[in-house]
Structures are given as C-alpha cells and as structure tokens.
Amino acid sequence: MGLRKGFFFSMDSFMALSMFVIILVSMYVFFISVKSLDQQYYISEDLFDVFSEVEINELEYSNYPYVSNLITKGAINNTELTISEQIIEFGLNEDYQNASILIEDITGGLLPSQFGLSFELNNEIYSKGQVRTALVSRSRLLTG
C-alpha cells in the first residue's frame, strides 16, 4: 500500500512540475516574440513634427531636388507653408502626384526599409510599404 501512495505522489509532483515548466517556457516565448512599438511611435511622432513645423523655405534645396523642381515649375508658389500645409494644398487641389513627389522627396532617406508610411487626407495620398504587421497611426489637426 505504501508503494502505491509513493507512486501516485511522485506522478502528481512530476505532472505539476511539467505544467510549471510548460507555462514558464510559454511565457518566455510569448515575451520574446512580442515586438515593441516604441521605435515606430517615436519615428512617427518625429515625422509629424518635421511635417508640421518645417517650412518649405527652410529646406536645403540641394538635398531635395524634387522640391526644388516643384518650386521651379510653379507647383509650389508659397514657400512659407509648412510641408504638411503644402501637401494638404496639393490634396485639396487633387494634385496627388505632386503631393506624392513631395512626401517621397522629404522621407526618402529617413525611414528604414522595414517601415512603411502612408499619408491620408480623406483618402490615401501616398503609401510606401505593403505588409502591415503593426500599425502606428498618428493624427494632428492643422489650421491655416
């Protein structure tokens, strides 16, 4: 009888220990596989700050040849507008091609390849990157 009690006690403790190990390994795997959105949050916030605070005339035109070309062609006629205001102006005039050119020229070397970007004003004006595994959405009210 004592041998039987010892066997069941050993099996019970073995099962409890096995479940404990499985739970610990599952938690470890879960926390390793979960990606943090901190970097995406800061990149999107910084991009928003650049777009909403930097005026077109503050840009070094030699670094942004398409912006310079848009000014030369007369598509951008008020260089005192911020980048966002100019994109919105293009969007309101349904000039999505020049809006896309402006966004691409400004963000060309800023984003790592694993990140995408889309700019929307009532509908999508510009989009870069196809696969969306995580989405960080930023919005801001601009007046002017």
In the predicted structure, residue 37 carries a pLDDT above the cut 70:
no
For the chain, give the mean pLDDT: 78
Query: Is residue 30 one of the residues assigned to a domain?
Result: yes
Q: Predicted confidence band at 135 (pLDDT cuts at 50, 70, 90)?
A: low
In the predicted structure, residue 67 carries a pLDDT above the cut 80:
yes
Tell me how many domains the chain contains: 2
Sequential DSSP letters for the chain: -HHHHHHHHHHHHHHHHHHHHHHHHHHHHHHHHPPP-HHHHHHHHHHHHHHHH-BGGGS-TTT-HHHHHHHHHTS---TTSBHHHHHHHHHHTT-HHHHHHHHHHHHTTTS-TT--EEEEESEEEEEE-S--SS----------
Residues 2 and 50 in one domain: no
In the predicted structure, residue 2 carries a pLDDT above the cut 60:
no
pLDDT of residue 19: 92
Range of the domain at 8: 1-34
Residues 75-119 pLDDT 10s: 888 889 888 888 888 888 888 888 888 888 888 877 777 777 777
Query: Is residue 67 one of the residues assigned to a domain?
Result: yes
